[in-house]
Amino acid sequence: MIFDKEKRQAKSSNKESAQEHQKCMMSRRDFLMYTGATAGAASVMSITLFPGTAQAQNTKARVVGYPRKLLGKMSELKTNEPLYFNYPDDGPNSQGLLVKMGVPAGGGLGSKQDVVGFSLMCTHQGGPLNGQYKVVGEHRVLGQCPFHLSTFDMRRHGIIVSGQAYESLPQVLLELEGDDIYAVGIMGLLFGRTDNIIAMQEA
C-alpha cells in the first residue's frame, strides 16, 4: 500500500513537471505561425513607414568623361597588322593595340565586326604584351605574357585563356564615323589604376 502511494505521488509529480516544462516549449506549428505573422507585419510596416520607396524613379545616367580619340582609318588597316596607340591618355599603362583580325569578334567594328582594340598591359602583374599578337588558325590571341604566360582571347572580349591572370584584358570601345576609327571608352580597368581616367583628373 505504501509502495502504491509513493508510486502515485511520483507519477503526479512527473505529470506536474511535464506540464510546467510544456509552458516554456513551443510547437513547430506555433513557431511558424508567430514568425510568419511577424514577417508579414514587418513588411507591411516598411511599406507604410516609407511611402513611395517601391515606385520606380527616372534618373539620368552619369556619363564618364572618356575622351574621343582618333586612332586611324578603316581603309588603312591591314589584316593582322596591329596599330599601337595610347588611350585614354598618354600616362602610364595606357598602351593599346588596334587590329583588323579578319574574323568576327565580340565588340568588333566594321562590316565584318573584325576590328578590335585592347590594352597591352597584362591584368595579372602588368606585363607588357607588345609584339605578342598571334594568329592560330581561326583564333586570335594576345600573349603569352613574358611574366607568367597569361594569354587572352581577342575574339571573346579578351577573356583569359591560360596563365595566372584572373581578369579579362580591358577592351577599348570603338566607334566608326565614315572611315575614321575613334576610341570612346574602355570596358574593364587598366592595370595599375584605380580609375581609367585618373591621369586626366589629376591634370
Does residue 58 belong to any structural domain of this protein? no
Looking at the structure, tell me whether residues 30 and 81 fall in a common domain: no
CATH number of the CATH domain containing 97: 2.102.10.10
DSSP class of residue 65 equals: -
Contact 173, 158 (CB under 8 A): no
As for how many domains the chain has, the answer is 2
Buried b / exposed e along 151-162 (16+ C-beta atoms within 10 A): bbbbbebbebbe
Looking at the structure, tell me whether residues 99 and 32 fall in a common domain: no
Does residue 54 belong to any structural domain of this protein? no
Chain centroid to Cα 199, Å, comes to 23
Q: What is the pLDDT of residues 111-130, one digit of tens each?
A: 999 999 999 999 999 999 99
Q: Kindly state the average pLDDT of the residues 169-190.
A: 94
Q: What is the pLDDT of residues 104-113, one digit of tens each?
A: 999 999 999 9
Within 10 angstroms of residue 120's Cβ, the number of other Cβ atoms is: 24
Task: Give residue 122's domain range.
Answer: 69-202
Q: Which residue has the higher pLDDT, 105 or 7?
A: 105
Does residue 63 belong to any structural domain of this protein? no
Give the pLDDT of residue 194: 87
Looking at the structure, tell me whether residues 197 and 152 fall in a common domain: yes
Q: Kindly state the average pLDDT of the residues 79-84.
A: 95
